[in-house]
Amino acid sequence: MRNTEGTRITKLPEFRTFWASQSLSMLGTAVSRSAVPLLAATVLSATPFQMGLLQSSLTVSFLVLGLPAGAWVDRMRRRPVMIVCDLARALLMTSLVVAALAGRLGFTWLIVVGLLLGAARTFYEIAYQSYIPSLVGRDRLVEGNSKLESTASAAQTAGPAVAGVLVQVGAAAAVSVQAVSYLFSGLLLLRIRKPEPVAGRAGRGGMGAEIRSGLRFVLGNPLMRAVAGSAATYNFFYAVQSPLVVLLLVGEAGFSGATAGALMAAGGAGGLLGAATSGWMARRLGQVRVIWLAYLVTIPTVVLLPLTGPGWRVVFFVVPWFTAAYGLVVYNVAQVSFRQAMCPDQLLGRMNASVRFLIWGIIPFGGLAGGALGEWLGVRGALLVAAVGMSSGVVWLLCSRLRGMRDIPVDAIAEPYVRSG
């Protein structure tokens, strides 16, 4: 067998294939967030209530299926799970194209497809994060995650723009491109030949006991609990902020929709730079230290957002929007790599599912809180509350033992927490 120790990760054919597959899959997911609602709006003339229902159908699965999905993924090899999810999403998108071209597309079917797409995404992303350690090795997690995060950031930046251009050709065209991207993503995964560890049922006592073991690992381990707490706090208050940012730019500052979109693209640029430099930052500052340092230095800049206005005051939006996006990606690469390195392989699916349940399941509540705060305090006042809340997430990290660590210890896998009650 060829020795690949010390080889750059981009020289490994298995990683290059996986990276290409992930790029296509992430682009398809990013486009779908805009293309499916645009399909509803342009073809079905959906009402605001129906649009909200459709958006919920695409995201509710992490709250409903997230925990059992983690237990199921830990019973299987992860690569076949991703392949099935990609091919299933390709078929679902194809069904929308066929229905739209035939003039038979109805809102009920769109909701059904949205629910199934969300379920497939839930299984895919849990399996995806659980597969990376076996593909690249635990010593290359930061390098691998930074490369993968770069394409995720690019997809999130380009996805809405690609969907908007394709919808000008026709809503079915946008959805058909998604079907092709998922299809080729699955086919690329089929080409990976690196053996994957045999899956087994690590837990005892049934599905409930396995789910509890994943939650116990995350909540019972002080280091994992601090990371999950910081991410959950950030996500809740980011969800408070999200519905208000467009209102700030268009309603309060008076920018056009096109200008607002261009200003928000600064976040995508910051994310791409963060992905490009996250590996260097981890080596320079320490793989653990960079988690809290990136958060502490960059995220609090969002307190400047409420000062945004026309003219030179646009700097109060562009600078913190770029800076926070940069820091968030550096933080994400470091904390995801930390979680993967800390977790035993047989528990990776349940760990990732538990973390996603905790940090993504809270997002709908943040959105509701943002709307209420906007009505009560006004847009700028609510954004200030959101900014302070987002900044407070770092307290979890600073009050934990993470603050005194530079790098992950060699014997970092936290086996005792798997058995703890």
Domain with residue 13: its CATH number is: 1.20.1250.20
Asked whether residue 363 falls in the same domain as residue 403, the answer is yes
User: Last residue of a domain, which of 179, 200, 221?
Assistant: 200
Token pair of 22, please?
């992930």
∠ Cα 189 181 57 (to 5°): 105
Asked whether residue 118 falls in the same domain as residue 144, the answer is yes
Asked whether residue 184 falls in the same domain as residue 242, the answer is no
Longest Cα pair distance anywhere in the chain, in angstroms? 65
Task: pLDDT tens for the chain, 421 residues: list them.
Answer: 344 445 577 777 888 888 888 888 777 766 666 667 667 766 777 665 666 577 667 777 877 887 888 888 888 888 899 999 999 999 998 998 888 888 888 888 888 988 898 899 889 888 887 888 878 777 777 777 777 777 776 666 666 556 556 655 666 676 787 788 889 999 999 988 887 766 555 555 577 777 888 888 888 889 989 999 999 999 889 888 876 787 788 778 887 755 776 777 777 788 888 878 888 888 888 888 999 999 999 999 999 999 998 889 999 999 999 999 899 989 988 888 888 788 777 787 888 788 888 888 787 777 778 778 888 888 889 899 999 999 999 999 999 998 888 887 655 555 444 333 3
CB 181 within 8 A of CB 52: no
User: Last residue of a domain, which of 176, 200, 224?
Assistant: 200
Asked whether residue 194 falls in the same domain as residue 209, the answer is no
Asked whether residue 176 falls in the same domain as residue 250, the answer is no
CA distances from 179 to 35, 38, 59, 124, 184 (A): 12, 16, 19, 16, 9
Token pair of 386, please?
């959101």
Asked whether residue 142 falls in the same domain as residue 231, the answer is no
Amino acid at site 153: S
* Strand ranges inside 212-355, DSSP E: none
Asked whether residue 385 falls in the same domain as residue 242, the answer is yes
Asked whether residue 220 falls in the same domain as residue 105, the answer is no
Asked whether residue 226 falls in the same domain as residue 302, the answer is yes
Asked whether residue 168 falls in the same domain as residue 271, the answer is no
- Domain containing 147: what range? 1-200
Residue 255, helix vs strand vs coil: coil
Instruction: Tell me the Ramachandran region of residue 134: left when phi exceeds 0, alpha when psi lies from -120 to 50, beta otherwise.
Output: alpha
Give the Cα separation of 334 and 406 in Å (integer).
12
Asked whether residue 321 falls in the same domain as residue 261, the answer is yes
Phi, psi for 408 (deg, rounded to 5): -75, 125
User: Last residue of a domain, which of 200, 217, 240?
Assistant: 200
- Element housing 374 (H / E): helix 363-392
Cβ-based neighbours of 154, under 8 Å, separated by 6 or more: 23, 268, 272
CA 413 to chain CA centroid, Å, is 24
Provide the pLDDT for residue 47.
Answer: 65
Q: Domain total for the chain?
A: 2
Token pair of 288, please?
């653990």
CA 375 to chain CA centroid, Å, is 29
Token pair of 317, please?
């939006």
CB 317 within 8 A of CB 255: no
Cβ-based neighbours of 22, under 8 Å, separated by 6 or more: 128, 148, 151, 152, 185
Concatenated DSSP letters of 59-120: HTHHHHTHHHHHHHHTTS-HHHHHHHHHHHHHHHHHHHHHHHHTT---HHHHHHHHHHHHHH
Instruction: Select from 410, 370, 401, 361 the least CA-distant residue to 232.
Output: 361
Asked whether residue 118 falls in the same domain as residue 234, the answer is no
Residue 3, helix vs strand vs coil: coil
CA 55 to chain CA centroid, Å, is 16
Instruction: Select from 266, 253, 252, 245 the least CA-distant residue to 312.
Output: 253
Give the Cα separation of 298 and 328 in Å (integer).
8
Burial 218-247 (b: 16+ CB within 10 A, else e): bebbebbbbbbbbbbbbbbbbbbbebbbeb
Provide the pLDDT for residue 160.
Answer: 56
